[in-house]
Amino acid sequence: MSAGTAGAALVPSSHHKPGKPGKPAASVPVRLLTINDLHGNLEPPTGSGGRIVDETGQTVDAGGAAYLATHLKQLTDKNTLMVAAGDLIGASPLLSAAYHDEPTVALLDKLGLKASSAGNHEFDEGITELNRIMKGGCHPVDGCSPAGRWKGTSFDFLGANVLKESNGAYALPPFYVKKINGVKVGFIGLVTQTTPSIVTAAGIKGLKFTEEVGAANKVSRLLARAGVKAQVVLVHEGDNVTPGQSPDACPVVPGAGSRIAAGLDPQIDLVVSGHSHQAYICKTTDPAGQVRYYTQGSSFGRVITQIDFQVDKKTHDVIRSSVVADNHVVTRTVTPDPETAAYVQTWKDRVSTVANKAVGKITANIGRDSGGTGESALGDLIADAQLEATKSGGNAEIALMNPGGVRADLTYAQSGSEGDGVVTYGEAFTVQPFNNLMQVVTLTGAQLKAVLEQQWTASGTKVLLPSASLTYTADLTKPIGSRVSDIKINGTAVTDAQQIRVAANNFLVGGGDGFTVFTQGTDLWSGPLDIDAFVAYLGAHSPIAPPATNRITFVQ
């Protein structure tokens, strides 16, 4: 393939359904079925995380391992390989997280997964734990699960841009090659290079994450020299989209995902992405001007991406004109796979004693949707819980919660037999599944303002959720870096030199999500886990009504 330059714009595919392209006699068919960002959702996800807009524009219920298994079986033929683009585990519901996601990984093995890129959440418990998941052995602290000694996986998590700091060697396998119909297909795994800023410091200790395109191109050249010309990148990075579109459309807002998709070496034929939890089927052009598909399949097992193509038996390369792709919504209108349903029920039974314990009550739905402002009722509630848990011992005065750590809504309607308004431990855990440690540091008033200014950057907005003790004004008409004013703690104006005890989880205190000013904090104090703080607060203050989202005054 010749080198060259071409535009990198993403455009909708004109046709996604597998049609009947010409099949040269000297070519063989390959079908890929891909998923991404499952996050251990073995049960059908609830709330907005369990719905998606389908190809007709209707919002439908989607996801659940038993339904996923049925759809996979319907789409599988003798030419099929199943692969994934990361975050299959981590930030998982209690059903999977209670056993360090072994239930999810074991099921993916049963479903035939051959390889996945690592995602940032695969590093939540560190590289040693990720290696244990792949290679086997019981957890060093919690021991063996009820299923017995963990045997490991028959697939690997790939990371061509994940290196050991000590010697620069690959910390994970960089690629996977599978022979199908007499031809070899190579899969290169990548994780977002921003992983160090979105995973706890302990999770990425001893690792460095390099730029994705350069890392992939290096492996691509190695594969090509070994005769593996049909190449697919599985990358845990993607773009956001204009909401409400068909999963087969390409309404992406070009970002890191499209940068990677367009910049990869021309030898790479397809790009399967993840991370942004969106569904799209796009085409881009590679540096040689050739059309290259770029896809993503939503999250939580709600979509399966099907990609069909022909491989030339003489050149061993993908015939680009033969590639067709389609996002299939994992609807719940099919018969759930009975074997998978029984498997999930087994784990539900094992964890039920903990999951079904009532921990509090709410008077109405408390959601994580900010309504466009950035402040959410559930995020505020969590911040209040964190402040209460860190006042004694940590002397906290305010608390700040990162929005990405709020993973689900608290719904008033009963999810089982617990009754309306009752919050179970399992539901609380689903909201906050990370087991982060609560910490308190001292910041000056000037540093607190600097933290709050970091909510807006050129690359996006992440509004921290404040406890009721903290109020301020955010003037969005002003330039980034000078938007915050009128900061008050319990109604009293904050001065630049004032010493303030600020509570947050260890992810934020370590500078996560780009809030680097947190790392300037002093007098570090560590307290309970965030989930324990949340559960204690629910129990102490029930029934809880949704708090008013008026702690931040936005000027727009």
pLDDT computed for residue 15 by the predictor: 38
Q: Is the separation of the CB atoms in 45 and 300 below 8 Å?
A: yes
* Average pLDDT in the chain: 93
CA distances from 482 to 102, 396, 521 (A): 46, 26, 21
Mean pLDDT value of segment 228-254 = 94
Whose tokens are 């080198």? That residue is 3
What pTM did the predictor assign?
A: 0.82
* Residue 247 tokens, joined: 């999963």
pLDDT computed for residue 25 by the predictor: 59
Q: 294, exposed or middle or buried, with CB in 10 Å at 0-12, 13-18, 19+?
A: buried
What fold is seen in the domain 11-339? Purple Acid Phosphatase; chain A, domain 2 (3.60.21)
Task: Calculate the CA 390 to chain-centre distance.
Answer: 28
**Structural Rg of the chain based on CA atoms:** 24
User: At residue 233, does pLDDT exceed 80?
Assistant: yes
pLDDT computed for residue 459 by the predictor: 84
| Dihedral angle sign, alpha carbons of residues 426, 427, 430, 436 | negative
Per-residue pLDDT tens digits for 256-304: 999 999 999 999 999 999 999 999 999 999 999 999 999 999 999 999 9
Q: Is the separation of the CB atoms in 498 and 487 below 8 Å?
A: no
Pick 356-555's CATH classification: 3.40.50.300, 1.10.260.40, 3.90.780.10, 3.30.70.3420. Answer: 3.90.780.10
User: At residue 61, does pLDDT exceed 90?
Assistant: yes
The secondary element (H helix, E strand) that includes residue 392 is helix 377-394
Residue 433 or residue 223, greater confidence? 223
The boundaries of every CATH 3.60.21.10 domain in the chain are: 11-339
* Residue 330 tokens, joined: 């994992």
The boundaries of every CATH 3.90.780.10 domain in the chain are: 356-555
Mean pLDDT value of segment 426-445 = 93
CA distances from 534 to 27, 274, 463, 537, 542 (A): 58, 30, 20, 5, 12
Q: Over pLDDT 90: what percentage of the chain?
A: 85
SS3 555: strand
d(CA 413, CA 401): 26
Per-residue pLDDT tens digits for 301-360: 999 999 999 999 999 999 999 999 999 999 999 999 999 999 999 999 999 999 999 999
Written as one letter, the residue type at 515 is F
Per-residue pLDDT tens digits for 122-164: 999 999 999 999 999 999 999 999 999 999 999 999 999 999 9
pLDDT classification of 201: cutoffs 50, 70, 90: confident
